[in-house]
Amino acid sequence: MTHQSRLDKLNASLRTGELDSVILNPGPTLKYLTGLDFHLMERPVVLFYAKDQAPAIVIPELEMQKVANLPYKLQVFAYPENPSEWDAAFRKAAQALGLDGKRIGVEPRQLRLLEFRHVKSGAPEADFPDASDILAQLRLRKDKSEVEAMRRAVQIAQSALEAVLPSIKIGMTEKELSAELVMQLFKHGSEPEMPFAPIVSSGPNSANPHASPSDRKLQAGDLLVVDWGAAYGGYISDLTRTFAVGEVDEEYKKIHQIVQEANAAGRAAAKPGVPCANVDKAARDMIEKSGYGKYFTHRTGHGIGMEGHEDPYMRGDNMQLLEPGMAFTVEPGIYLPGRNGVRIEDNVVITETGADVLSDMPREIRVLG
C-alpha cells in the first residue's frame, strides 16, 4: 500500500467520523502514513491532516531535506532555530487548513505537551478529542508486505538467540547475556532502533514478568526467561522462550510444560471471527485447571506491528473480533514469587482461514550451561 493510499484511507475515516482533522508528532502513525521518520526532540515536528486537503507539516528548517521529492503533496511550514518564531509556523499551518474552532484529533499516548502548546497557539478555539480509535484502525490489519517484514524480524530474532545459546554458562550475568544478545541481533540484521531492550531474567528474577537484566549470575536450578525482539523494515518481533540452567526441580519442568500447552491452546484459538477474549480464555483455562491460575498475572497477548504494543489486545474482556491481517502475541506465563517463572511467547497473524504463526523456535524446555 502506498503512502498516498494510506493518507486516502485516513481521509475516508475523517469523512465518515466526527473529526475535522488529526495531528501527529514523530512516531509510528506518522511514519506509517507518510514514510517520514523523525525523532522526538526539543524541536517540535507536527503533521496536520484535515479532510479533503493536502496534509501540512511543521518542521525545523534543518529537516527540509526529508520532505523534498515526496510522491504525494505536502504543505511544508519550516521554522528557524529561534524558539520565539516557532508559534508563527504553527499558526500558518493551522490557518492554511482552516483548523481554528474545529475538532482536531490527537494521540494521547504520543502527543507531548510541547507540541500541543504550539498547535493550541495556532488554533486557540479548537477542540482536541482522542483520535486513538480512528488511527489504530488504520494500522490494525497488516498487508502482505507488513507481514513479511514482521516475519523477517522474527527470523532475525530467532537466529540471534540461537547464536547466543551455546555461550550461556553458569556464572554468566543477566547483563552479560543481554549484551551478547543485542550484539547478535545487530549481526543478524536487526535495525538499530529495536522494539525494546531484551528482558533476561533468571531464578527469582524470572518471576517478575518485566524484570530488567541485573548483575545476578546464572545458577544451576534456575529457569531463564529471555524476552527479546528485532526490527526490520520498521516492523518488530516480540518473542519469549524459557530455558533450564542445569538440572531444575520437577515443579519447574511441570510449569514449563503447562505454559507450553497454554501457548499452544492460545495459538489454536486464534481464528478470524473469534473474539480476542477467546484467545485469552483458551490459554488461561489451561493454566487455571492445572492449579496455577493465580500465578498468571497478565493478559495473554498484545498487538504488534510498528510498535511493540498496539491493538488488538488478547484480554479476557475484549470482545473485538479477530480479522485477517491482525497481528499479535500469544504469551501465557506462570510466575512463582521469589522462586522461578516461565513465559513462552509467539507472534501470530490472522489469515482468511486461521492463523499464521511467524515464530517456530523450539518451545520445549532446553537445558543450558
Does one domain contain both 235 and 270? Answer: yes
**How many angstroms separate the first and last alpha carbons of the chain?**
47
What is the extent of the structural domain holding 94? Answer: 3-138
pLDDT at 235: 97
DSSP label at 345? B
C-alpha cell of 137?
A: 484502525
For position 287, what pLDDT does the model report? 98
CATH number, domain with residue 30: 3.40.350.10
- Rounded Cα distance between 116 and 126, Å, is 12
* Domain match, 132 and 191 both: no
pLDDT at position 277 is 98
Mark out the alpha helices in the chain (DSSP H runs): 3-16, 28-34, 86-96, 113-122, 132-140, 144-164, 174-187, 250-269, 276-289
**Tens digits of residue pLDDT in 123-158:** 999 999 999 999 999 999 999 999 999 999 999 999
Does one domain contain both 152 and 282?
yes
Is the separation of the CB atoms in 100 and 94 below 8 Å? Answer: yes
Q: How many CB atoms lie within 10 A of CB 61?
A: 11
What's residue 1's pLDDT?
77
pLDDT at residue 336, as a whole number: 98
Q: 119 with 164, same domain?
A: no
pLDDT tens for each residue of 74-126? 999 999 999 999 999 999 999 999 999 999 999 999 999 999 999 999 999 99
CA pair distance 301, 321, nearest whole angstrom: 15
Task: Report residues of the chain scoring pLDDT below 70.
Answer: none
| Same-domain pairing of 169 and 99 | no
**Are 157 and 185 within 8 A, CB to CB?**
yes
Among 281, 300, 283, smallest CA distance to 209 is for 300
Q: For the packed helices 132-140 and 3-16, what is the interaxial angle rounded to 10 degrees?
A: 140
Give the domain-ending residue among 87, 117, 138.
138
SS3 199: strand
320 and 185 in a single domain? The answer is: yes
CA atoms of 107 and 275, how far apart (whole Å) = 25
Looking at the structure, tell me whether residues 238 and 309 fall in a common domain: yes
Among 122, 138, 154, give the residue marking a domain's end.
Answer: 138
The whole-number pLDDT of residue 369 equals 82
Return the SS3 of 274: coil
pLDDT at 156: 98
Last residue of a domain, one of 121, 138, 155: 138
CA distance 24 to 109: 11
- Do 114 and 225 belong to one domain? no
Residues 348 and 211 in one domain: yes
What CATH number does the domain containing 156 carry?
A: 3.90.230.10
* C-alpha cell belonging to residue 103: 475538532
Considering the domain architecture, whether residues 15 and 97 belong to the same structural domain is answered as yes
Residues 173 and 204 in one domain: yes
Domain count across the chain: 2
Per-residue 3-state assignment (H helix, E strand, C coil) for 29-40: HHHHHHCCCCCC
- Whether 151 and 201 have beta carbons less than 8 Å apart is answered as no
Q: Rounded to the nearest 5°, which phi and psi values hold at 268? A: -65, -30
Instruction: Look at the alpha carbons of 53, 59, 61, 62 in this order and tell me if their dihedral is positive or negative.
Output: negative
